Structure 1
Amino acid sequence: MAGLATPDLDADLERDTSSMPPASWQTVVWNDPVNLMSYVTHVFRSYFGFDAATAHRLMLSVHHDGHAVVARGPREVMEAHTQAMHDYGLWATVRKDPA
């Protein structure tokens, strides 16, 4: 197959990936008809260590907007946070950060 270009594999390996930001993910907590607002605030304070004002603001976002992004970071960490929210009885998912 003369005339076909072959990729330069060494050039691909030498490409600088350190300037590329790591993929960011989100833990999203969703509103549910079961948990009290005070309980959601308590979970945010005890698990994430948020101060009272931040936990309350995030809880109100869950209540009024239907969801709140409570954490951003590597996928594995966001999956652990999501599992923890499930363990507390909250509805939560992981999604890719659109930013």
Structure 2
Amino acid sequence: MTPTLSDTDLDRDTEIVVESALASPWVTIVWNDPVNLMSYVSFVFRSYFGFPTEEAERLMLLVHNDGRAVVATGNREEMERHVEAMHGYGLWASMTKADA
């Protein structure tokens, strides 16, 4: 006789999958654009995220030289707030799953 999963087992397994998906980290990415000055991007990183000058400059140079930089990691709702804030500052930003 082969073992079968009960409805309770399926519910528990489904809950684990959903909890894992919700718990997986997301990232906020700031993209290079042809409008904003490098000094302004660094200012935004310092003022909004509270990065020290050196970290803000490092991230700004990643945006400038590599076209993008991951500026935050966390849950989906937090990353949505960060992306919206970056748009409010006039920066191009998006979010994606960290493992994508």
Which residue does 1:90 correspond to in 2?
A: 91
Question: Where does residue 36 of structure 1 map in the other structure?
Answer: 37
User: Which runs of no fewer than 5 residues in structure 2 stay unpaired?
Assistant: none
Identity, in percent, stands at 56
**CA RMSD after TM alignment:** 2.4
Q: Distance in 1 between matches of 2:27 and 2:78?
A: 9
The TM-score with structure 2 as length reference comes to: 0.84
**Counterpart code for 2:9:** A
Query: How many residues of Structure 1 are paired with residues of Structure 2 in the alignment?
Result: 94
CA shift, 1:39, in A, is 0.3
Q: Which has the larger radius of gyration?
A: 1
Note the C-alpha offset of 1:98. 1.6
State how far apart, in whole Å, the 2-side matches of 1:90 and 1:14 are: 42
The equivalent residue for 2:70 is 69
Give the gaps of 5 or more residues in structure 1: none
Tell me the SS of whatever aligns to 2:72.
Answer: strand
Q: Could you report, residue by residue, the CA deviation over 1:52-76 in whole angstroms, capped at 9, with x for unpaired residues?
A: 0000000000000000000001011
Q: 1:34 is paired with a residue of what secondary structure?
A: coil
Which residue, 9, 23, 30 being the options, matches 2:7?
9
- Separation (CA, whole Å) in 2 of partners of 1:84 and 1:33: 19
